[in-house]
Structure 1
Amino acid sequence: MKKLVAISIVGLAVAGCTPTQQGAAVGAGAGAAIGAVATGTAEGALVGAAIGGVAGALVGRVAENSDDCYYRDRYGRRYTARCPDGY
């Protein structure tokens, strides 16, 4: 039960991040897991987290540079829609 609560809190915290930050967080987590399994050491997990974080941030950055524009409605909620022509 404690693991489920911890994962839920982390998931909610990441939900408020930009795509670049989300990509970095997911990449770092996946890289750490893969590095730990592949090497069986803490150093492998750290190297995997570093490499995964950088790779995830790059992927997230590309996702931010799409042809969509970001808007906010009257309640402050952020949403995306296709940009008008000329942008």
Structure 2
Amino acid sequence: MQSIKPLAGQPPCAAPEDGLRTESEAKAAFMATGTTVADWARQRGFSEALTRMVLAGKRKCLRGQSHQIAVALRLKPSTCDQQ
């Protein structure tokens, strides 16, 4: 299974008080940093198309790579946040 790499400057397992993002907040973070979705996905070994689907809210992100993408984008809590 592929390990989830955090966003730049984020610890691997962000604390719950750091908060989750909405899809629009995640998109705004890409705009603010000048990072493309494609570059972000490639750097972490994720599918670009699947990353775009997650950002568009077209995936439930219950398991697999879509869930890993949602956790990496801080759209969903990681498993260590749920302990």
Indicate the TM-score class for this superposition, using the shorter chain for normalisation.
under 0.3
Q: Where is the strand percentage greater, Structure 1 or Structure 2?
A: 1
Q: Looking at CA atoms only, which structure, 1 or 2, has the larger radius of gyration? A: 1
Q: Where is the helix percentage greater, Structure 1 or Structure 2?
A: 1
| TM-score, with length taken from structure 1 | 0.22
| TM-score, with length taken from structure 2 | 0.23
Higher-RCO chain (CA-CA 8 Å, sequence separation at least 6): 2
